[in-house]
Amino acid sequence: MSNSPFISNCTADAIRNAARALKAGHLVAFPTETVYGLGADARNPEAIKRIYEVKGRPTDHPLIIHISSLNQLDKWAIDIPEYAIKLARKFWPGPMTLILKRSEIAGDFVTGGQDTVGLRVPSDPIAQALITEFEKISNSAIAAPSANRFGQVSATSALDVLEEIGEYLNEEEQILDGGSSTIGIESTIIDCTGSLPRILRNGAVSKEDITIELKINVIEIGVSPEIRFSGSFEKHYAPKCKVIIDKEVIVGAGFLALHDVETPPGMKRLAAPSTVEEFARILYSTLRAADQYGITSVVVFQPSGQGLSIAIRERLEKAARGR
C-alpha cells in the first residue's frame, strides 16, 4: 500500500469520507472500546467477501453487525425476547453483542448462513460517529470482525491494525485512529435465541452484571454444536510466543501478572497492571510486544475472581493452547 492508511484526526469530514468509502464497497478499520474492527457495508456481499479475504477467515464464520442504537435492532433482528431488550437498554452502547434471529436483510454472506445475527452498539465516539453517518447514507450498518488476521491476537491500536492487515488493504481503504481501546478485550457475546440468555464469549459485561443489575438468570457458557464463534476455535487469541499459565518459573521467559505479584528471579517483567481492568487493557499489546522483542515464552499469572477476570482467563486459556 503506497499512502499511509491512517486517519488520525477523525473530524466530521474524515468520518464522512470513511462512510463514503464504506458505501463504495471498501473496508474501513475503526476503533471500538473493546478492540479495533475491520468494517464493511453489511448489505454488500462483495465488500463482506473482502473482509474474509483480508482476515484470512473461513466464510462460514459469522460477523457482528454494528448498529448506532437500540432503535436499529428490529431492522436486523426478529422475534426479539423481552430479556434481550432489557440487556440492550442496560448495556448498550457498550461491550456486548446479542445473537438474535435475523431479519431478511441480514444475508447469508454476513451470518455465515445461520438464521441468527450478531448485533452490537459500540460506545466509542469514533465508532458511533462512523456508524451513524453510514446508516444515514446507506440504509445499512457496519459488519466488522476484530481487525486481525484469523486466529491472531486482536488489535487494540491503529498501529496493531496496520501490522496485522496493512499489507492487504488497497488505496481506498483506511484505518481510523482512535488511540488505544479502553477495554482491550472483545465484547461479551450473548445468545438470545433461547428462553434465557446464554453467554457464548465472556467480556466486560459479566454474568454477575446481568444477574445482579437486571435480575435475569443467565446460562453458563455452553456452546451448542450448531453455533460457530471465535472461542470455539482452539487457535484463537494466539500470539507467536508460547503462553504459559501460572506457577511455572522459566528463566529468560517474559512475565505478566498484577502489580502485587513479584517477578520471579530470572524472568523479564513485561507489565504490572494495578487492576483487572488495566490487565484487560494491556493484555494483547503486551503479548504483541513480547513477539516484537523476540521473547518465545511468556508466563502469565492470571487474575482470580469473577467478572472481567473470567474474560481474561478465557482469552489466556485459548492463547495457552497455542496455534
| Residue whose CB is less far from ligand TXA, 160 or 295 | 160
Q: Is 193 in the site for Mg ion (CB under 5 A)?
A: no
Rg for the chain (alpha carbons), in Å? Answer: 19
Spatial CA neighbour of 182 closest among 89, 319, 291, 285: 285
- Residues 6-45 binding ligand TXA (CB under 6 A) are 32, 34-35, 37
As a whole number of angstroms, the distance between CA 320 and CA 60 comes to 25
Q: Is 156 in the site for Mg ion (CB under 5 A)?
A: no
User: In the complex, what is the shortest distance from the CB of residue 96 to ligand TXA, in angstroms, rounded to a whole number?
Assistant: 9
- Which part of the chain contacts ligand TXA (CB under 6 A), choosing from 17-25, 43-51, 157-165, 181-189? 181-189
| CB of 167 closer than 8 Å to CB of 1 | yes
- Residues 133-162 binding ligand TXA (CB under 6 A) are 144-146
Q: Is 227 in the site for ligand TXA (CB under 6 A)?
A: yes
Q: In Å, how far are 113, 165, 194, 208 from 56, measured between CA atoms?
A: 18, 10, 31, 35
Q: Is 64 in the site for ligand TXA (CB under 6 A)?
A: yes
| Residue whose CB is less far from Mg ion, 72 or 230 | 230
Binding partner at 207 among ligand TXA, Mg ion, none, C-beta below 5 to 8 Å by kind: none
Work out the number of other CB atoms within 10 angstroms of the CB of residue 201: 22
29 contact partners, CB below 8 Å, separation of at least 6: 36, 37, 38, 39, 147, 155, 158, 161, 165, 173, 174, 175, 176
User: Side chain identity at 207, as an amino acid letter?
Assistant: K
- Which part of the chain contacts ligand TXA (CB under 6 A), choosing from 44-52, 108-116, 131-139, 300-308? 108-116
User: In the complex, what is the shortest distance from the CB of residue 246 to ligand TXA, in angstroms, rounded to a whole number?
Assistant: 26
| Residue whose CB is less far from ligand TXA, 111 or 286 | 111
Binding partner at 181 among Mg ion, ligand TXA, none, C-beta below 5 to 8 Å by kind: none
Beta strands in the chain (DSSP E): 6-7, 28-30, 37-41, 64-66, 77-78, 96-102, 116-120, 142-143, 174-176, 188-191, 198-201, 242-245, 254-256, 268-271, 297-300
DSSP codes, 185-227: SPPEEEE-SSSS-EEEE--SS-HHHHHHHH----BPP---TT-
User: Side chain identity at 247, as an amino acid letter?
Assistant: K
- Which part of the chain contacts ligand TXA (CB under 6 A), choosing from 110-118, 169-177, 242-250, 286-294? 110-118
Q: Looking at 10, 73, 98, 99, which residue binds ligand TXA (CB under 6 A)?
A: 99
Q: Looking at 61, 75, 149, 321, which residue binds ligand TXA (CB under 6 A)?
A: 61
The crossing angle, in degrees rounded to 10, of helices 12-23 and 125-138 is 50
Binding partner at 239 among Mg ion, ligand TXA, none, C-beta below 5 to 8 Å by kind: none
Q: Is 146 in the site for Mg ion (CB under 5 A)?
A: yes
Q: At 279, which helix (H) or strand (E)?
A: helix 276-292
Grid cell digits, residue 171: 488505496
Grid cell digits, residue 59: 466464510
Interface mask (CB under 5 A) for Mg ion, residues 212-241, using x and -? ------------------x-----------
- Which part of the chain contacts Mg ion (CB under 5 A), choosing from 45-53, 117-125, 144-152, 174-182? 144-152
Residue nearest Mg ion, CB atom distance: 146
Place of cell 462483495: 46
Binding residues (CB under 6 A) for ligand TXA: these are: 32, 34-35, 37, 61-64, 97, 99, 111, 114, 116-118, 120, 144-146, 186-187, 189, 227-230
